[in-house]
Structure 1
Amino acid sequence: MNIEDQMLERLEQVLDPEVGVNIVDLGLVYDVKVDEAGKATVEMTLTIPECPLADQIVEDVKTAAKETPGVKDVDVRLVWEPKWTPAKMNDKAREEIRARHAMAP
């Protein structure tokens, strides 16, 4: 498994706190790269630009990415194009959201 795939696995630990689903399954992570010096770049978006928890999510991404062996530094780039839509979620995220709504009173 390459270092980018390992980092994506770590990023699956980061939840969007308002949705309760990880950012990878939600389709918020657009790209991850790691150069030879161990500098990682994560290009991602949020469900809405005015997300009140944006700073916390970015910090959680940095922390999780740095846990990847070989990653020494992380730059998180928030982008707004392409715009996130629910169509970017994978089937796992859709199932988690359906299950949460089914359990809600």
Structure 2
Amino acid sequence: MTSELVDRVRDALRVVIDPELGENIVDLGFVYDVTAEAGAVRITMTATTPGCPATGFLREGAQAAASAVSGVVSAEVTMTFEPAWDPSHIEPAVRASLGFAAVN
């Protein structure tokens, strides 16, 4: 049940769209970790840079999206910048559509 809840939360996070890049936070590689225990969900995520003006928007969107999932009792979102995000975190198809060169 816990892994199923984590999967459903990760899917729900796809509704959160980065306003600059126009793609969801999961495919952009912003979501580093999702855990769940007894309905308490913890999400560790990032943004493009520590000074990103959308950081609060993304954090609030992730919390709202996770909270809306059936079985979630609480949702806590922690923003981190370790490791630093870079385009290699983006799903390959999305990276190509955004015009980023392949990252080895």
Q: After superposition, what is the alpha-carbon deviation per residue over 1:57-82, rounded to whole angstroms, capped at 9, x for unaligned?
A: 11110110011111011110111111
2:53 matched residue in structure 1? 52
Give percent identity, aligned residues only.
36
Summarize the alignment of residues 64-103 of structure 1 with structure 2, pairs less than 5 Å apart: 64-98=65-99
State TM-score, norm by structure 1: 0.87
The alpha carbon displacement at 1:26 in A equals: 0.5
Give 2:42's aligned amino acid: T
Distance 1:96 1:73 in 2: 35
| Equivalent position SS for 1:9 | helix
Q: For residue 96 of structure 1, report the CA deviation from its aligned partner.
A: 3.5
Match of residue 101 from structure 1: none
Deviation at 1:97, TM superposition (A): 1.5
Q: What amino acid does structure 2 have at the position aligned with 1:81?
A: E
Q: Deviating runs (4+, > 4 A) in structure 1?
A: none
Distance apart, 1:92 and its partner CA:
3.0
Rounded to whole Å, the distance in 2 between the matches of 1:96 and 1:41 is 30
Aligned to 2:15, the other structure's residue is in SS state coil
User: TM-score, normalization: structure 2?
Assistant: 0.87
| Unaligned runs of at least 5 residues, structure 1 | 99-105
The change in CA–CA distance for 1:32 and 1:96 in structure 2 (over 3 A counts) is same
- Please give the alpha-carbon distance, in whole angstroms, between the structure 2 residues aligned to 1:80 and 1:56: 16
